[in-house]
Amino acid sequence: MSAAAEPKSVKVNKTSGAGMEIEWKDGHRSTYSFVFLRDACPCALCDDERSKSGRKPGDPMQPVAGALPMFKAMARPTEVEGVGKYAIRFVWNDGHQHGIYSWEYLREVCPCEQCKAARDSMKGLEEDIAAHGKHSHKH
Ligand SMILES: [Zn+2]
Ligand SMILES: [Zn+2]
């Protein structure tokens, strides 16, 4: 595991509801709101829902067209527990509890501007490679 995916310190502000802060071994700091974490739940169910609706991890859920606006309590964990040395698990106030957030995943979805920009440029790069690949064997 690289230092970028190993937390030096993890702070979960469960009581205040302020979210989770991670300081990584490479010096990077990530701050996640609980709402973000709930919407980024990595479990198979949420992953499936995200791929169907085209949502990225952490993007807010889109309200269903035509549905009555319903009061939704802000996501907050009722329980937080470490999973071995590699992950953290939340039990959410809406009863959802199947997501296991590995440090690697959390670093991957870091919502800070720097990481967002890096992810966007990475995406452009992948598209470039894919476009080149199509023509690389034609001479
Ligand atoms: Zn989930
Ligand atoms: Zn970041």
Which of the two residues, 56 and 38, has the higher pLDDT score? 38
Bridge partners (DSSP) listed for residue 10: 22
Per-residue confidence band for 137, with pLDDT thresholds at 50, 70 and 90: low
pLDDT at 134 over 70: no
Bridge partners (DSSP) listed for residue 24: 7
Closest ligand, as measured to the CA of 50: 1
pLDDT at 127 over 60: yes
Check residue 57 and give its pLDDT: 87
pTM of the model: 0.80
Closest ligand, as measured to the CA of 27: 2
Count the residues in the chain: 139
| pLDDT, average across residues 16-32 | 96
pLDDT at 11 over 70: yes
Neighbours of ion ligand 2 (CB under 5 A): 110, 112, 115
Closest ligand, as measured to the CA of 28: 2
How many helices (H) and strands (E) the chain has is answered by 4, 6
Check residue 126 and give its pLDDT: 73
Task: Give just the sign of the alpha carbon dihedral 2, 89, 93, 56.
Answer: positive
**Are the beta carbons of 130 and 124 closer than 8 angstroms?**
no
3-state secondary structure of 30: strand
pLDDT at 131 over 90: no
Query: Could you give the angle at the alpha carbon of 105 between the alpha carbons of 42 and 117, nearest 5°?
Result: 115
pLDDT tens across 99-108, in order? 999 999 999 9
Q: Which two tokens stand for residue 107?
A: 């670093």
Distance 110 CA to ligand 1 centre (A): 18
- Within 13 Å of residue 36, how many CA atoms lie on the same side as its CB? 14
Distance 79 CA to ligand 2 centre (A): 25
Distance 22 CA to ligand 2 centre (A): 10
User: For the chain, which residues make up each domain, given as ranges?
Assistant: 3-63+73-110
Distance 43 CA to ligand 1 centre (A): 4
DSSP state of 4: G
Distance 35 CA to ligand 1 centre (A): 13
Check residue 117 and give its pLDDT: 93
**Are the beta carbons of 70 and 126 closer than 8 angstroms?**
no
Distance 116 CA to ligand 2 centre (A): 7
Which CATH number is associated with domain 3-63+73-110? 3.30.2020.30
Distance 70 CA to ligand 2 centre (A): 32
